[in-house]
Structure 1
Amino acid sequence: MDSIGLLSAGEARSWGVVYQWGLELVRTIQTIENPALTALIKAITLLGSEVFYVPAVLLVYWCIDEKKGCRWTLLLLFSSWTNSALKVLLKQPRPYFLDPSVGIGAASGYGLPSGHAQLSLVFWAAALPGALGKRRAWLIAGSITLIIGFTRLYLGLHFPTDLLGGWLLALVILGAWYVLLPPLERLPAAGGMRILMIGAAALAFGMNALYPGDRRFGALFLGFSAGYLLMRSYFPFSASAEVRGKFSGTILGVKSGLVFRGIRFVLGMAGTAVLYQGLKFLLGEDSLLLGRDSLFGPGHYELGRFLRYGLLGLWAAAGAPWLFLRLGLAVPREK
């Protein structure tokens, strides 16, 4: 059993009925278990993880609409930070912590609120309305979210109450987002880049102060926000505009616009992977592999981590678009 799943006697008594009911539901669902279904479930559940969301939002930012990509990236980062902070605050176990026999899958950390439930609803509810209309979008977003929630029960990774907590938190975050987004988008004209930079830095450091256990989200939020503001001010990049010139038309029978967008995405993801691993090596974050402490010393591991994720956010928002423009893979955004 994972050590973080151990409960005090008081916690076990206060949550015992809820845990027992949840475990019985998980066991009932797992009566349909078979290898083929398990393989399918494990593939579907990835749609609720960062394995799916990170490439998805970067695809939008680099290849479809940089403004929407920026909004969704910051929304997901804030949602992920909120989820992680509440997990540590509430310290609720996962089903397989209490009964290892239901552990078809495995996951780190606590269970409530479910990150897969929360982030899937936030992502799809924010992504679909513009293309499908609000009513149809909410229907599809709800269906996808329910399917992903079912996979978490099947794998023994969450209680039903974990899913409910994730969905409720997602609705609160989405409600706040839709109310605050219009005035936030008016700030650039009112305050200028300096004010926005200060605001982004204050939010990022506030996130770290409130939840110092994981500095990734604050660093990514700061790096991406700063990168977007720099890009927009000094080399405005358009993800949607078509590249004109000698390569216009088709390339090997494929529309040149699709080819250029595909190259941008592959190049951007490759740069992200190289930067992620390269900085991890240079900063000495993998002490077992390198045989040495962090570049900043054993007491400052989190400083190196903050720097690495901040630079990753800066690369995604500004470095990659700058490279696309320099290589002729994209064109500047019209003012």
Structure 2
Amino acid sequence: MTDIQIVLIQVLQSRAALLVAPMLFFSFLGQPEFYLLIIPLLYWCLDPRLGLRLGLIMGISGGLTIALKIAFHLPRPYWVSPDVQALGSHPSFGLPSGHAMEATTFWGLIAVAARRRWVWVAVTALVFLIGGSRIYLGVHFPTDVIAGVAFGVVILLAFLAFEEPVGRRVAALPLSRQILVAFAGSLALALASVAALAALGDWQIPASWAAGALERSGQPIHPLDLQNVMTAAGFFFGFAAGAAAAWPRRGSMCIVGKGSDHLLRYGFGISVAGAIWFGLGLLVPPDPVIAVYVAQYLRAAAVAAWVSYGAPMVFARANLMGRRV
């Protein structure tokens, strides 16, 4: 099965060499960084409720992606085959494809909210292209992508089933309890990966995988590292806790105004978010590991709290919210 998939990747790469740029573009549309540009735009400028839902589901799917990757601990194509070109490089395990999984949850939730057939068609095509780009770039087997879409569908359906009853119960709690629930949820996301890592026991990454990845991409791998899951968990906590504090004032969060108002608000908010992320990144220690994980968690939580709470409060006080709706 693996040999057949490698042959398929070889055929794609050899007979469609002109597709490198488009495939890199579609791959970017599945990057967490892209979603982190879109979520604030929706939350601050267009549809706060949809932005909130997307922020929560992306924190959940981002955290579970790492747990599943560690649980399956399978290689990427360019790690194991010298015949596959490494047109991209990633240090984590291959299955499931995080791009396919998160594209399914993110764009799928947008399609559910839009309730338009053409949106469903566009989202299906986009998820297909994002997943296909990962195969073409040599960073995923087709089975990785199929698994990513399948897990993404499960997460999306579970989110849709539980968001209303859980949301009502959480909203009825005092703010301090809501923040505690958000923290507990973020710990659950982190512990899922810790449990998957513990289940590996004394399993070791095959030396051939590390050597093959380094030889073909020039980048080392560290698939057992938990920094990404700490980032996802921190983002979930910061976003959920900030939204809990800001949501009672949601009437001041969504506006109908001039395009310049939206542009000013978004440009300022994203600039501050970037400054927080990169500024706190300078404070992340190189070691020990526990300190790195805690710092990464707090860094992501700070950025997410700025997006969900800090920025809307600054906009409101600076009279950048426009006409309230």
Please state which band the TM-score falls in when normalised by the shorter chain. Answer: 0.7 to 0.9
- 2-structure distance, mates of 1:272, 1:261: 16
Could you tell me how far 1:104 is from its partner in structure 2? 2.3
- 2-structure distance, mates of 1:173, 1:191: 25
Which of 26, 33, 36 is the matching residue for 2:9?
26
Which of 310, 314, 318 is the matching residue for 2:305?
314
Percent identity between matched residues is 29
- TM-score for both structures, normalised by structure 1: 0.81
- 1-structure distance, mates of 2:62, 2:255: 31
Could you tell me how far 1:190 is from its partner in structure 2? 3.3
Over the residues paired in the alignment, what is the CA RMSD in angstroms?
2.1
Higher relative contact order (CA 8 A, sep 6+): 2
How do 1:153-302 residues align onto structure 2 when only pairs under 5 Å count? Answer: 153-188=135-170, 190-212=172-194, 213=226, 214-233=229-248, 235-236=249-250, 238-242=252-256, 257-281=258-282, 283-285=283-285, 287=286, 300-302=291-293
Helix, strand or coil: the match of 2:88? Answer: coil
Task: Name the stretch that deviates more: 156-165 or 302-311.
Answer: 302-311
Asked if the contact 2:30–2:99 (Cα under 8 Å) also holds between the matched residues in 1, the reply is yes
Helix, strand or coil: the match of 2:29? Answer: helix
- TM-score for both structures, normalised by structure 2: 0.83
Task: Name the stretch that deviates more: 301-310 or 186-195.
Answer: 186-195
Helix, strand or coil: the match of 1:93? Answer: coil
- 2-structure distance, mates of 1:119, 1:229: 24
The residue that corresponds to 1:324 in the other structure is: 315
The residue that corresponds to 1:52 in the other structure is: 34
Question: Structure 1 residues 190, 230: closer, same or farther in 2, change over 3 A?
Answer: closer
Question: Structure 1 residues 152, 318: closer, same or farther in 2, change over 3 A?
Answer: same
Could you tell me how far 1:259 is from its partner in structure 2? 0.9
Could you tell me how far 1:194 is from its partner in structure 2? 3.4
* Residues 200-246 of structure 1: CA deviation (Å, up to 9, x unaligned): 1211122222224231111111111111111124x54544323xxxx
- 2-structure distance, mates of 1:237, 1:130: 20
Asked if the contact 1:231–1:237 (Cα under 8 Å) also holds between the matched residues in 2, the reply is no
The residue that corresponds to 1:95 in the other structure is: 77
Question: Structure 1 residues 178, 114: closer, same or farther in 2, change over 3 A?
Answer: same
Asked if the contact 2:76–2:140 (Cα under 8 Å) also holds between the matched residues in 1, the reply is yes
Structure with the greater alpha carbon radius of gyration: 1
Asked if the contact 2:27–2:130 (Cα under 8 Å) also holds between the matched residues in 1, the reply is yes
The residue that corresponds to 1:6 in the other structure is: none
Which of 296, 300, 307 is the matching residue for 1:305?
296
Structure 2 residue 57 is the aligned partner of structure 1 residue 75: yes
Could you tell me how far 1:43 is from its partner in structure 2? 1.5
Could you tell me how far 1:266 is from its partner in structure 2? 0.7
- 2-structure distance, mates of 1:106, 1:100: 14
Question: Structure 1 residues 194, 170: closer, same or farther in 2, change over 3 A?
Answer: same
The 4+ residue runs of structure 1 with deviation greater than 6 A are: none
The residue that corresponds to 1:144 in the other structure is: 126
Could you tell me how far 1:163 is from its partner in structure 2? 0.7
How do 1:62-141 residues align onto structure 2 when only pairs under 5 Å count? Answer: 62-102=44-84, 103-133=86-116, 135-141=117-123
- 2-structure distance, mates of 1:130, 1:302: 35
Q: How many residues align?
A: 291
1:33 partner letter: A
- 2-structure distance, mates of 1:332, 1:157: 47
Asked if the contact 1:236–1:332 (Cα under 8 Å) also holds between the matched residues in 2, the reply is no
Question: Structure 1 residues 263, 226: closer, same or farther in 2, change over 3 A?
Answer: same
